[in-house]
Amino acid sequence: MKLSICIPVFNFDINELIEDLRDQINLDHLDAEIILIDDGSDNEFIEINKDLKNKVSQFIFLGSNIGRSKIRNLFLKYSQSEYLLFLDCDGKIIQKNFLKIYFDFIDKKSPDVVFGGRKVSDVKPDSEYGLRWKFATERENLPVNQRLNAPYLDFQTNNFIVKKSILEKVPFNEGITQYGYEDLVFSKDLYDHQVKIDHIDNPIFNNDVETNVVFLSKADQSAKSLAQLIKTDKNFNRVSQIKLTKAYLMMRKTGTIYLYRLIYKIFRSRIEKKLLTGNASLKALDLYKLGQLIGYMNKED
């Protein structure tokens, strides 16, 4: 088997995604399998997706949620393929030759890791969903020529291929148990092991629309995850290139953390209110995340 398509599933209807992938495998006669692992979804979504067990190679249901890093490493246990393609469960296939593009690149380049990119709708959604859309369009949905300028910093885990032997050598950091920064830590580990990340133009569409409330909650969670990483990474080897880490370390060096905490305490509610309108600039989101990070850094574990 050349390719295992690995999809962690959590509280999402994946029937359309699986049908599209199966159609491409059959149409192009590809040497590929589909492996699903449900990460403790609610019963409603287990019921929606359960019949896919008869349409994929393996569908494993976990009794509880183990997190974004650990579940990706778990696919190593079930895959027998040379390469693993990881897709997020909220992805939507938008190219008829999506899988074939990856197969052709593998045959031509024998890459270690390759990221295909991501897209969201070009149409701005209602303001209730504006914050996530703005973040995606301004910071995530980068064209391949721009990603190639910073191949490690602009790597994401929603749509990438990795050689199985590489993932066995450089697994995801299972110390990251909550949302946030597992992709950047993984790419830094790849960099440290001199593993090249290739980038191609083969995006997948982000099919899940998050409200401002949900996305702001995830931003808070990511700040908490980063605080845990900083506390356990004493030399900042893994997190030194993260923009938020740089800001925090600069403030610590200049002794301005206490001042920022005071100012943030006064303006936090206003920043949150502005972000929840969906029309705030991403600088406001950066200020929010920095304030949350500083707060978590000053909390006892």
Residue 193 to residue 291: CA distance in whole angstroms: 33
**Last residue of one domain, picked from the residues 145, 176, 206:** 206
Residue 242 has pLDDT above 90, yes or no: no
Q: Same structural domain for residues 169 and 223?
A: no
Mean pLDDT of the chain: 93
The answer to whether residues 110 and 133 belong to one domain is: yes
Provide the pLDDT for residue 236.
Answer: 63
Do 54 and 31 share a structural domain? Answer: yes
Q: Is the dihedral of CA 147, 3, 23, 104 positive or negative?
A: positive
Mark whether 126 and 159 lie in a shared domain: yes
Q: Which sign, positive or negative, has the C-alpha torsion 83, 61, 73, 92?
A: positive
Threshold 0.85, pTM exceeds: yes
Instruction: Reply yes or no on whether the pLDDT at 301 is more than 60.
Output: no
Q: Are residue 96 and residue 243 in the same domain, yes or no?
A: no
Mean of pLDDT values over 188-204: 96
Q: Are residues 43 and 144 in the same domain?
A: yes
Q: How many domains does the chain have?
A: 2
Same domain, 131 and 254: no
Same domain for 128 and 30, yes or no, is yes
pLDDT of residue 234: 66
Tokens of 226: 């980063």
Provide the domain limits for residue 293: 212-297
Mean pLDDT of 227-242: 78
Q: Where are the alpha helices (DSSP H) in the chain?
A: 15-27, 43-49, 68-78, 98-109, 130-135, 144-147, 164-169, 182-192, 212-232, 243-254, 257-276, 282-297
Pick the last residue of a domain from 206, 231, 260: 206
Query: Is residue 130 predicted with pLDDT exceeding 60?
Result: yes
C-alpha–C-alpha distance, residues 170 and 43, integer Å: 34
Strand partners, 113: 162, 197
The pLDDT value recorded for residue 298 is 85
Residue 179: CB atoms within 10 A of its CB come to 16
C-alpha 145 chain-centroid distance: 20
Residue 131 and residue 233 in one domain: no
Mean pLDDT of 206-232: 90
Q: Beta strand pairing status for 204-206 and 91-92?
A: antiparallel
pLDDT of residue 240: 79
Q: What are phi and psi of 76, to 5 degrees?
A: -60, -30
Mean pLDDT value across residues 28-33: 96
Q: Is the pLDDT of residue 30 over 60?
A: yes
Mean pLDDT of 53-59: 97
- Please tell me whether residues 46 and 118 are part of one structural domain: yes
* Distance separating the N- and C-terminal Cα atoms of the chain: 45
Residues 112 and 236 occupy one common structural domain: no
The rounded distance, in Å, linking the Cα atoms of 95 and 2 is: 21
The DSSP output letter for 54 is: G
- Say if residue 209's pLDDT is above 60: yes
